[in-house]
Chain A
């Protein structure tokens, strides 16, 4: 069964601090891995997308890494801001159907002043 597991489930950090979110997956075959940011009650917004051959990708203060051998990914947020408070979802595509994405449960990040 294709699964995507994220940790931690939630975290609280102070404004200006860094944090790292983890994602482990068992989706096979693997096509790509995305990180989405979702504000409460809004649609997910893509932060990064990585294919098998990419092991790091940055988008401003967000840096994602991918280790396709161990099937692990991380999302690092640098110098957090209050606007970073959201749910961060790891999504993997591949498996038996290219249309279907495997979603992680998300990590809820709360940034406090």
Chain B
């Protein structure tokens, strides 16, 4: 199984709402990622978890709060978002680079299309 699943596929939320994006993988990967992608732009890294610990936070505003409950799940909690946060949010997973493997594929989920009104 080389699949990363994300729910929901689409989400519309107001600026005062609280919502969560979910990501799941069962490939035994110990690194999981959140990316934000605007139209016609490459994905931008937001967070990286390695062995369920936050490894990288790319100076993301606190209205985005990641959580890694276990090695298979990754959540992104959203609160008080702005319209400019509307984007495709992608989750990815890979073997952890800490293993020293020469190459490690990042497998992407289908994304959640988020619209903030």
Contact = CB atoms under 8 A, between A and B. Distances in A.
Interface in B95-117: 97, 102-111, 113
B107 to A, nearest CB: 7
A98 interface: yes
B42 interface: yes
A17 B80 CA distance: 49
B102 A42 contact: no
B107 A42 contact: no
Given A89-B42, A100-B45, A106-B42, A41 B111 contact: yes
A99 B56 contact: yes
A17 B110 CA distance: 29
Interface in A3-21: none
Given A103-B43, A106-B42, A44 B56 contact: no
Nearest to B49: A99
B103 A45 contact: no
Contacts of B42: 89, 103-106
A31 interface: yes
B109 A43 contact: yes
Interface residues of A, number: 24
Interface string A85-113: 00001000100011111011110100000
A46 to B, nearest CB: 6
B2 to A, nearest CB: 9
Given A43-B90, A43-B111, A97 B105 contact: no
A76 interface: no
A42 B45 contact: no
Given A49-B103, A89-B42, A106-B42, A99 B110 contact: no
8 contacts: A42-B111, A43-B90, A43-B110, A46-B105, A51-B102, A93-B103, A98-B97, A103-B43
Given A43-B92, A44-B108, A46-B106, 14 more contacts: A36-B108, A41-B113, A43-B4, A43-B90, A43-B110, A44-B43, A45-B108, A49-B103, A49-B105, A89-B42, A99-B97, A103-B42, A103-B43, A106-B40
